[in-house]
Structure 1
Amino acid sequence: MLLKPNSRYIYMGILASLYAAMQFIFSPLLGALSDRWGRRPVLLISLAGSAINYLFLTFSHSLILLLVGRIIAGITSANMAVASTYIVDVSQENNRAKYFGLINATFGAGFIIGPVLGGFLSEYGLRLPFFAAAILTGLNLLFAYFVLPESRKVTLENKQLSTLNPFKIFAGISSIRGVLPLVTTFFIFSAIGEVYGVCWALWGHDTFQWSGFWVGLSLGAFGLCQMLVQIFIPSHASRLLGNRNAVLAGIACSCLALAVMAFAQNGWMIFAIMPIFALGSMGTPSLQALASQKVSAEQQGQFQGVIASTVSMASMIAPMFFSTLYFQLQEKWPGAIWLSVILIYLITLPIILYSTRPVVQQR
């Protein structure tokens, strides 16, 4: 499959957008199915879809097949939502933040190891990383099939397929008291998270003249610090501060680090502030734990699917916003992009405070 150089980036954008669009539409549906069929079958479907997608990427010589693969991957991309629901099923409220932190750390470790392994394998063929990903996903599928138990008791009533319209699911979940502000908070956090992938490398080059090596090293250091935070901090933060205050403490740490980054003149300052920057993520498991209290056990899958859909929406909108903003700031002050993130936190703080207020739990 040969594409004109100028069109490759367009098609890369189309592939990414297709995946996000399918994820946005189908995450609530798969979450609802996990409420009716159980978590295990939906997780197996998700893993199978991922494996098929990687096989398409490995062997296809047609753009159409690549598009089909990404559509399948997007439709079945419920792994994080179902994993979050599984955590809710098997944990108690007093230790839920801890387990959310551990699963976040596991996904974070994958994002650290995956690019390194992919870069190494690509030296032996551009398609080899995709084939390796297909094999690893297949092994994960087999492990889940033979080892992973079902976390939710399934009844005949749960297996009914009525009201599985994804838009009705979104509307129904959002109508529950306190849910819409919380979903908005997840959108805010997810949108802010996109700025680092979009602007970090550009800012590092423009401010410190970082090469690709230093950009990669800084991202790796941040990923490692964040993974350690997710493993060791959330349970203590939730117990000592409470979930709501842990979320606010995380925002405070992020804003402190972002302020230093905005005015930093030397690259070593970024590495020095990295632990505090990583502490900004300590509130995420507490936010997830708070979210799990908003709906009944029978609606957890739908709710986690709606959250995954919201995260996907943020991944479609935020990169364009932050890239446009960065190029407006690039010549005069590249670091101002981080002040814009602080400003977003301040503007949206009333929503965050309202959404994380204590409410009567529905059970």
Structure 2
Amino acid sequence: MSSPPPRPPGRAAVAFVFVTILLDVLALGMMAPVLPRLIVDFEGGDVEGAAAITGLFGFAWAAMQFLASPVLGALSDRFGRRPVILLSNLGLGLDYVLMALAPNLAWLFIGRLVSGITSASTSTVVAYVADVTPPEQRAAKFGLLGAAFGFGFIAGPALGGLLAGIDPRLPFWAAAALSLGNAAYGLLILPESLPPEQRARFTWNGASPLGAMALLRSCPALLGLAGAAFLMFLSQESIPSLYVLYTIQRYGWDEAAVGLSLAVAGAGSMVVSVALTGPAVARLGEHRAMAVGLVFGVAGFVLVALARTDWLFLAAIPLLSLSALTGPALQALMSRRVGADEQGRLQGALAGLRGITGMIGPVLFTQSFALGIAPAAGLDSPGLPYGLAAALLALSLVLAWRITRVEGVQSDAEPAPTTPGE
């Protein structure tokens, strides 16, 4: 799939990369209410066995993200963003076709592995945005990407559940149509964003997860910010890993209340990402906007951990929504520390960090929840996992603030000069 000569991306091309993120997350969200049901069917109605297999599916998907994201990011640094994005969209669409036709659990598992690889192109999409956006505007654009994630996670499960009511395989076909249609559209309108003279040499050592982490060690500021990002990613895993169990056990909510509260939380994060991130960064600078978001996140998790009533729990949702300021500002700070030929590797490394937390987080938070409510432990502390999340986010705040103060990573800083191919 050859790339046309690079030219300044127009609005249609920039909109395409946002739509790519949206459709990827929408398709993934559509799987949420469907995949466990299919696994139960393949297991002959054995819910207990299906629960264990569902956990294995989730772990395997995160592992593929960890392995594939740095590779795709490095490939995009070498061959350009366009071919990687388009081939990933094509592969994801074909994979959903495979899952729609899967005759047994083994084929469904293979499809899930492939989707973990092909959906790892998110790092390349973020690198595309970094290529075409001035450094001072990146945080706002990254915030829009966060809004696309939020909308996809809100609308995806609802749409998947609606389609599954017609046919349990229909969400897979719909996801395939979205991904294949996006690939065909991108083939027509998506220009390349990375000129040949700014591309890096590809090596498997540099593209491996450990090699990608080496990039994060290339300067103290980047390593420190990567550590802050890791702690932030890990704390965020407490929501998808535990939210349903936590609200049912502590507040006695039913499925409708859980779904509605998740929709409100997602909508709040979207509003912050779209409407507040850009103005906050313009007024405060990237490092202060990041710190403000982390402070709101710590306060939100502390309130969740201590809330004995559901009304106090609901009061934490606006605080957690405001923590959406953190991610875009932190990404923008890190993108300033590498050159144009390393943006793909950087975003791949960050996606790899998220993959690691996706493997650790579900075990960490569910086990701490079990310890908090276990009669034998005598803690009577169901909020223990969210207290842990608050502590992780507080450590992220201390580390990130210290790095930005000591290293001078300010919103008006320029990236250190690099030589393409280094």
**Coarse TM-score class (shorter-chain normalised):** over 0.9
1:45 corresponds in structure 2 to: 87
Other structure's SS at 2:73 match: helix
Whether contact under 8 Å (2:200, 2:342) holds in the other structure is no
Distance across 2 between alignment mates of 1:59 and 1:322: 34
The question of 1:250 aligning with 2:293 is answered yes
Change in Cα spacing, 1:160 to 1:272, as seen in structure 2 (3 Å) is closer
The superposition leaves residues 321-342 of structure 1 with CA deviations (integer Å, 9 ceiling, x where unpaired) of 1110011112512123322222
Other structure's SS at 1:94 match: helix
1:102 corresponds in structure 2 to: 144
Whether contact under 8 Å (2:72, 2:121) holds in the other structure is no
The question of 1:54 aligning with 2:102 is answered no
Q: CA deviation at 1:71?
A: 2.4
Other structure's SS at 2:119 match: coil
Report % sequence identity. Answer: 31
Q: Please, which runs of 5 or more residues in structure 1 have no aligned partner?
A: none
Q: Bigger CA drift: 6-15 or 117-126? A: 6-15
Whether contact under 8 Å (1:247, 1:287) holds in the other structure is yes
Which portions of structure 1, spanning 4 or more consecutive aligned residues, are displaced by more than 6 angstroms? none
Whether contact under 8 Å (1:42, 1:78) holds in the other structure is no
1:28 corresponds in structure 2 to: 70
The question of 1:92 aligning with 2:134 is answered yes
Whether contact under 8 Å (2:231, 2:395) holds in the other structure is no
Distance across 2 between alignment mates of 1:78 and 1:354: 31
The question of 1:188 aligning with 2:231 is answered yes
The question of 1:337 aligning with 2:385 is answered yes
Pairs within 5 Å for 1:253-292: 253-292=296-335
Give the partner amino acid of 1:2: F
Distance across 2 between alignment mates of 1:273 and 1:70: 34
Say which of 43, 46, 49 aligns to 1:3. Answer: 43
Distance across 2 between alignment mates of 1:126 and 1:343: 41
The question of 1:138 aligning with 2:186 is answered no
Distance across 1 between alignment mates of 2:393 and 2:207: 33
**Could you tell me the TM-score, scaled by structure 1's length?**
0.93
The superposition leaves residues 296-350 of structure 1 with CA deviations (integer Å, 9 ceiling, x where unpaired) of 1111111111111111111001110111001111251212332222222334443
The superposition leaves residues 202-221 of structure 1 with CA deviations (integer Å, 9 ceiling, x where unpaired) of 22112221111101111110
1:211 corresponds in structure 2 to: 254
Q: Please, which runs of 5 or more residues in structure 2 have no aligned partner?
A: 1-40, 375-379, 418-422
Q: Bigger CA drift: 139-148 or 189-198? A: 139-148
Say which of 298, 303, 323 aligns to 2:341. Answer: 298
**Could you tell me the TM-score, scaled by structure 2's length?**
0.81
Change in Cα spacing, 1:324 to 1:119, as seen in structure 2 (3 Å) is same
| Paired residue total | 362
Give the partner amino acid of 1:182: L
Whether contact under 8 Å (2:147, 2:273) holds in the other structure is yes
The question of 1:362 aligning with 2:407 is answered no
Pairs within 5 Å for 1:162-173: 162-163=203-204, 165-167=207-209, 169-173=211-215
Distance across 2 between alignment mates of 1:284 and 1:104: 8
Change in Cα spacing, 1:280 to 1:158, as seen in structure 2 (3 Å) is closer
